[in-house]
Chains A and B, each alone.
Chain A
Amino acid sequence: MTRTRAKRDVERRGHAHRLSTRRRLIVAFSGILVVFLAALALQLAALRRMEATFEEMKEHEDQMRLVLKLEDAVRDEYAHEEQVLRGDAAALRDYEAARGRALELGRRLDRALDEPETIALLREIRAARAELDARFDAARAAPARGGDPAAELDPSHRLVSRIEHDVDRIFARLQEVGSSYRAQLASLEAAALRWTAALLLGMPLLVAGIVAHLSRSVTRPLARLSAGAAAVASGDLDGRIDVDTPDEFGSLAAEFNRMTAALKHHQERLVEAEKLAGVGRLAAAVAHEINNPLQVIIGYLSFNRGVRDRRLAEQLAAAEAEALRCKGIVDGLLELARPPLVPARVDLRALCEDAAAGVRAAVQARAARLSVDGVGLARGDGPKLRQVVFNLMKNAVEAAGPAGDVDVRIGLRGEEHVEVAVRDSGPGIPAEAKNRLFEPFFSTKSSGTGLGLAVSRAIALAHGGDIDVRNGEPAGAVFTLRLPRAGSGGELT
């Protein structure tokens, strides 16, 4: 249950990135795509404008050609008129053809021209031509009535010159418009060129920038992660990876740090367990080698308890007491080696009261005040836990001194644990002793085996609990025994 919850937590953390690398990639590539499409659309529009301008230019050139052809046709018409008037009957047909051409060109130009100025000029040309035709028809009729054909041609010549002049003006005008088209085209071309150049330069820069940013946001945390992993691989479990970006790398680093912390915790536990196992093997060997000599020593000393000489009796009693302490050490070592457990539901209040009574009986009458408060049910081995609580209380009472106080508080810790906190009003634990307090044979007291806390902790660990120590406020030490809480159901055997 705890495991699935932890897994859910991990998944939730994983989904919580505001700027995941996936999202950043999507944003970056859509950005590039949008810029590219916009550039393409602009280029296409410019091309279309250029094409339209080019078309209009072609139309103008057509108009210019038509204007020149019209001039030619009018000149031809006039030349053939002259031949006809001079009596060349055959030229009449050419004249008709030239006239037809001039009329046709005039109609086409009428459709093509779109400027009021040129349209006005064309109208003038058309009027002059009509006058020219009228004069020619009149002149053809004149020889019959007598007259000089050459004299008739002179005004016609002026008309032709006028038409030529008008055509030149139209042509000049068209040329003018044409050159403005060319200028427009050239500017469009230049703009397109500029855009293309900007794109050619800008796109690679943009893409390079995005790639650089992405790769930096990937490679930098990756480098740190790999450095962190290398540090852990080389045995450094204290280092933490400093990546707190709100993406996968940030949560990966957080998970990695959590993993390293857990690894460190388990390694410490393992080292402790190894130490205890070593102590256990040692204890079995020591028990054989020490208990037999101790048997002889304690046996003879106790056998002579009744000796009459009082001084000798005292000396023997002192020796026996020390020998019994040796026995206590060996017993402690054996206990440390294998704390056997029978899980049952343990009423911690009753257990603490019982242990407190034991402590009061064991210590001198002038000892610290000892009070027990709170309730709790633990899952564990009653006699073993009583031994642990007894040890903690006895230590506390000894630390507090005759005028001191020892408060034992039982309560819940979280959902799954209960704790017994033993607080004394003594001098507290020196920082340098704190780490070694639970080591076998480490003792701050002049008497004692130095195994009490080590055995107590071994028992707590075997329960799936622990003992930790901190200094209290304002003074004294607080030893907290943490134990699994007894469930309501029948998980107990």
Chain B
Amino acid sequence: MNRPRVLVVEDRPGVLKLIATVLEVGCEVTSAADGATAISLLGAAPFDVVLTDIRLTGASGFDVLRAVQSHAHRPSVVLMTAYANLPDAVAAMRLGAFDYVAKPLAADEIALVVARAVEHRRKTADRPLAVVPDSGLRGGEGHHDLSLGFRRAVDQARERASVEYLVELMRHFHGNVTLAAVRAGMARESLHRLLKQYGIHSHAYRDPTASPEPEGGDHAERARLDA
């Protein structure tokens, strides 16, 4: 089983334990309690996703992000913060973070953002280093546009991306939630709740021509996606 490998970096043991508990359902989770440990772990094993707090003892979440960019196997990086603010968000995106999320997050949201980061990692794994699309973020005046209710705008964008991702999952697995959950590295119940939350009906994606036992088709889809 090709479970996503996730490195969680968080200096608060309670938060670290929670995130590990949530993600362990579908992922291989490695925990790091500080930035320096995280950076050394990056060299030891390849990860699909790094989920890191920004404020850490020792190196910061941004240092972890920079360290990630220098590795050949570049995991998707999700930065977390308890104090969301525009300068950090802009810096995170410029440095190539996949997402920038504000605590507190519900368990399903954590699972979903990691699942999307995993998917992103899979899609970009074989490509050369992506050019960071920072045209909208750089150049003085431009990024003031984000300051306007930027969290709401970011949340909306994230919601759209999440819906697209969930729809894509349903499409690939023809509405099979169990397989989609495995693929996304999250608990089946969690995916169910998310689908319900975003108003996506898995039945709508059932292939009417497919056999009642859609295993073969799903395997084919999975093979295609994995490639």
Q: Which residues of A does B touch, CB under 8 Å?
A: 284, 287-288, 290-300, 302-303, 305-306, 323, 327, 334, 340-342, 381-384, 387
Contacts and interface: CB of A to CB of B under 8 A. Distances in A.
B22 A299 contact: yes
Binding site of A, secondary structure by majority: helix, strand, loop or mixed? helix
Given A288-B55, A292-B15, A295-B104, A303 B82 contact: no
Contacts of A384: 148-149
B152 A383 contact: yes
A299 B82 contact: no
B117 to A, nearest CB: 18
A291 B21 contact: no
Nearest to B188: A306
B82 A287 contact: yes
B107 interface: yes
Nearest to A294: B104
B19 to A, nearest CB: 7
Interface of B: 12, 14-15, 18-19, 21-22, 55, 82-84, 86, 102-110, 144-145, 147-150, 152-153, 187, 189-190, 193
Nearest to A341: B148
Contact of B105 (A293, A298, A305, A340): A298
B107 A284 contact: no
B18 A340 contact: no
A387 B149 contact: yes
Nearest to A383: B149
Nearest 6 pairs between A and B by C-beta? Answer: A291-B82, A303-B107, A340-B147, A302-B106, A295-B104, A342-B148
Which residue of B82, B86, B152, B193 has the most chain A CB atoms within 10 A of its CB atom? B82
Nearest to B107: A303
Contact of A288 (B83, B149, B193): B83
Contacts of A341: 147-148
Given A295-B104, A298-B106, 20 more contacts: A284-B83, A288-B83, A291-B83, A291-B102, A291-B104, A293-B14, A295-B82, A296-B12, A296-B15, A297-B104, A299-B106, A300-B18, A303-B18, A305-B108, A306-B187, A323-B104, A340-B86, A381-B149, A383-B148, A384-B148
Contacts of A300: 18, 21, 107
A383 B19 CA distance: 33
A425 to B, nearest CB: 31
A306 B187 CA distance: 11
A305 B193 contact: yes
Given A303-B21, A303-B22, A295 B83 contact: no
20 contacts: A287-B82, A288-B55, A290-B82, A292-B12, A292-B15, A292-B82, A292-B103, A295-B18, A295-B82, A295-B104, A296-B12, A299-B22, A302-B108, A302-B109, A303-B22, A334-B83, A340-B147, A341-B147, A384-B148, A387-B149
A305 B197 CA distance: 13
A258 to B, nearest CB: 36
